[in-house]
Amino acid sequence: MTALDPVLKDLWHPVMMSAALTGAPAAIEVLGEKVVLFRSSDGVHALKDLCIHRGVPLSLGKVRGDEIVCAYHGWTYNGCGTCTRIPSLPQGTAIPSKARAVAYACKETYGIIWVCVGNPVTEMPEIGLRGPNPDFAQVYMGPYEISAAAPRVVENFLDVSHLMYVHEGMLGDSEYSEINDYRVHEADGALRTDIIEVYQPDPDGRGVGVQSLYTYEVYHPVSVSLSKQIAGSDDIFHLYLLVLPKNETSSVAFMLMERNYAKDEPDEIFISFQDILLEQDRLIVENQKPELLPLDLQAELHLKCDRLAIAYRKMLKESGVTFGTA
Ligand code: FES
Ligand code: CO
């Protein structure tokens, strides 16, 4: 068994939209750990997806009352992982104390279920440096399954000079590809860029071309955001990207978009636009070599406009992230 990543194991990872977990247990994967999620009357629970009796995934079982029942011989576990019933034991026989499932920290907030497979560094999961703004219109996008390492997915989101090529006609125009010089600032372990200006033919799917002012923030290794302000207006758009590292080469991207304009427009406009962008990025990130993000800065070529990617790779290296990196 390989050890869990020393940094990522203690973070809260988004694993599922709250609305998607109903009656049946769900099998998920966090940092290569197979986990079963289930919902009881007192909330959501995450256990190692393995019955200690004969190694059957608990996710094949059923939720009964507030407990999960293994599909093979009916051993029943509560949300803390304690085995409360072994149907084949004669009545009055004590349940062996070793009959337990490993329980993980599990919380539900912002409409998302979160799991931490280590010791959570924060009491509650957080989104970005400030969290969602209640005065903005919010819309979730995804989750998107991506066959790529989480750091590759994050770095793609932080890459400003791909907008004019991968998303030409939507987020950029190859006739306007130059990137202004910008700096990356570090404060409290987070990274933040200066403003980067990009001409955008159609920045959000509504078909209106504008000059956009971008700033990016890296909150932790797999949680980042960008803000776009339309030049000469007060229209602001935030996009949070939260990436679940399922295993070293597959990830799930959750996105929350919020805006202080066009609040009455239907969410579907923004979701279907993001779905297209995601497919365009997928083609790139699922084919990058090496699959794992190289943290040795000599390994690939970098330009000034890649400052944020360089800062991101340094941050991963200095904080000791190994999962999904090379
Ligand atoms: Fe789960 Fe036997 S394997 S009850
Ligand atoms: Co992209």
| pTM of model > 0.90 | yes
**Token pair recorded at residue 196:** 């980067």
| Interval between CA 34 and ligand 2 midpoint (Å) | 29
Residue 214, helix vs strand vs coil: strand
Domains of the chain are: 8-116 (2.102.10.10), 137-319 (3.90.380.10)
CB atoms within 10 A of CB 44: 20
| Neighbour order of strands in the sheet with 26-30 | 13-17, 112-116, 103-109, 43-48, 33-40, 26-30
Report how far apart, in Å, the C-alpha atoms of 268 and of each of 59, 95, 274, 300 are.
32, 52, 10, 38
Give the separation between CA 110 and CA 223, rounded to whole angstroms.
14
**Closest ligand, as measured to the CA of 144:** 2
| Interval between CA 281 and ligand 2 midpoint (Å) | 5
**Which residue ranges have their beta carbon within 6 Å of ligand 1?**
51, 53-54, 56, 70, 72-75
ipTM: 0.97
Per-residue model confidence (pLDDT) at position 1:
53
As a three-state string, the secondary structure of 260-302 is CCCCCCCHHHHHHHHHHHHHHHHHHHCCCCCCCECCCCCCCCC
Q: Which atom of ligand 1 is nearest to the CA of 54?
A: 3
Q: Where are the beta strands (DSSP E) in the chain?
A: 13-17, 26-30, 33-40, 43-48, 62-64, 67-69, 76-77, 83-85, 103-109, 112-116, 137-146, 184-187, 190-193, 196-200, 210-220, 223-230, 236-247, 250-259
Per-residue model confidence (pLDDT) at position 188:
80
Q: Which mean pLDDT values do the consecutive 10-residue runs of the chain (326 residues) have? A: 88 98 96 98 97 98 98 98 97 94 97 97 91 94 98 97 95 90 90 95 88 95 96 95 97 97 94 97 98 93 92 96 96
**Residue tagged 């497979």 (tokens):** 117
- 67-76: long-range contacts, CB 8 A cutoff, minimum separation 24: 67/40, 68/25, 68/36, 68/38, 75/51, 75/99
Q: How many residues does the chain have?
A: 326
The torsion region of residue 110 among left (phi > 0), alpha (psi -120 to 50) and beta comes to left
| Interval between CA 255 and ligand 2 midpoint (Å) | 13
Question: Which residues make Cβ contacts (< 8 Å) with residue 131, sequence separation at least 6?
Answer: none
CB 166 within 8 A of CB 280: yes
CB atoms within 10 A of CB 237: 21
Residue 29 is which amino acid?
E
Q: Which atom of ligand 1 is nearest to the CA of 73?
A: 4
What is the distance of C-alpha 45 from the center of its chain? 19
Per-residue model confidence (pLDDT) at position 208:
86
Name the residue at shortest CA distance from atom 4 of ligand 1: 73
Q: Which of 47, 48, 64, 75 to mutate to test ligand 1, by most ligand atoms within 8 A of the CB atom?
A: 75
- In the chain the first and final C-alpha atoms are separated, in Å, by 19
What is the distance of C-alpha 281 from the center of its chain? 16
Q: CA torsion angle for 186, 191, 192, 197 (degrees, to 10)?
A: 120
Nearest to 165 by CA among 180, 177, 181: 177
C-alpha dihedral sign at 57, 61, 63, 68: negative
